[in-house]
Homo-oligomer: A and B are copies of this chain.
């Protein structure tokens, strides 16, 4: 390593000699372990304070905990992820744990590398947000370090799961559109690069539920799905494709707000008014959805609660819990001005 100018780091030995005790004693005080007298504890604390000592995480990692939890996010473009991280950070604050984030990307290879990076850095626990890898791969990691998976519905004995009830959420949206009088309701879903069981992936659940509800209302012939991406571009492309079809949809349910924004753009560019010519609904209830110019009907997921819960479950696992926990939150429909009765029908 390049030698830096800075003076040598304060180590546990410095603290020990300052406090006139052994390094063992200092270590015990640091971890609040058994076997130090109050007086000694006080002396050590004072020395730590005076020297501005902070434990060296890498050195700790060689023996015990790093007091670090790793979070893998697919990317940083969905504000919903920010809620998750805020919830987690909140839950962790005061516990001495620090969250570090890595970007998983959109390929399984990149995701594996990101996960390995966390394992190699010896984090005490890992939160995986909407991972792509097959369950077996996740369990492989879960065998080495406590894992919580957020956004997948899997039931695994080796890791905990935190998710929103995507089936209910999708149902709420499709029912809402049907109640408004729509029949030609289309859906935009996400093209994944995943080897997970499809039924465990949130976008697959949303799409399947869309199909099921359509069928339940005798609308099987109107089912139209565009498979692009949960992104602005994906929504734009998907909407363009759907709007070109012979029987143009009167409503589009995009599986995520980000995609719904693209749908709004495509509608605009096609000269269609929303909701006059086309109703649009999203999922996630991001802040932007509430902007008056957008006013997007969406499904609210309590991201902060989900992130906080994930943090708590991770801490429990780090403390020794080995039985799996699944935590599901209930979504709610937020109706805004982007959805209305179709034009060719009388108002309700």
Contacts and interface: CB of A to CB of B under 8 A. Distances in A.
Interface of A: 1-2, 4-6, 9, 54-59, 61-66, 68, 75-77, 79, 81-82, 85, 89, 98-103, 113, 116-117, 120-122, 124, 143-146, 232, 261, 264-265, 268-269, 287-288, 290-294, 318-320
A146 B3 CA distance: 11
A76 B85 CA distance: 9
A292 B320 contact: no
Nearest to A122: B58
Given A54-B120, A68-B121, A77-B79, A265 B288 contact: no
A62 B62 CA distance: 9
Contacts of A122: 56-58
Contacts of A318: 2
A102 B99 contact: yes
Contact of A75 (B63, B82, B288, B290): B82
B288 A261 contact: yes
Contacts of A85: 76, 103
A65 B3 CA distance: 11
Contact of A4 (B6, B145, B290): B145
Contacts of A291: 232, 261, 264-265, 294
A120 B68 CA distance: 11
A33 to B, nearest CB: 13
Given A62-B58, A77-B82, A264-B292, A121 B100 contact: yes
A65 B1 contact: yes
Given A54-B120, A100-B121, A102-B98, A294 B293 contact: yes
Given A68-B121, A100-B117, A265-B293, 20 more contacts: A1-B64, A1-B124, A4-B145, A6-B143, A6-B144, A55-B120, A56-B120, A57-B58, A58-B62, A58-B120, A58-B122, A59-B62, A61-B61, A75-B82, A77-B79, A100-B101, A100-B121, A232-B288, A265-B292, A288-B288
Contacts of A68: 117, 121
Given A1-B64, A261-B291, A288-B288, A98 B77 contact: no
A231 to B, nearest CB: 9
Nearest to A338: B293
Contacts of A100: 100-102, 117, 121
Contacts of A143: 4-6
Contacts of A56: 120, 122
Contacts of A145: 4
26 contacts: A1-B65, A1-B124, A2-B146, A4-B143, A4-B144, A4-B145, A55-B120, A56-B120, A57-B58, A57-B121, A57-B122, A59-B61, A66-B121, A75-B82, A77-B79, A77-B82, A98-B113, A100-B101, A101-B101, A101-B103, A232-B291, A261-B291, A265-B291, A265-B292, A268-B292, A288-B288
Given A89-B103, A264-B292, A268-B292, A76 B66 contact: no
Contacts of A58: 57-59, 61-62, 66, 120-122
Contacts of A64: 1
Nearest to A77: B82
Nearest to A1: B64
A338 to B, nearest CB: 10
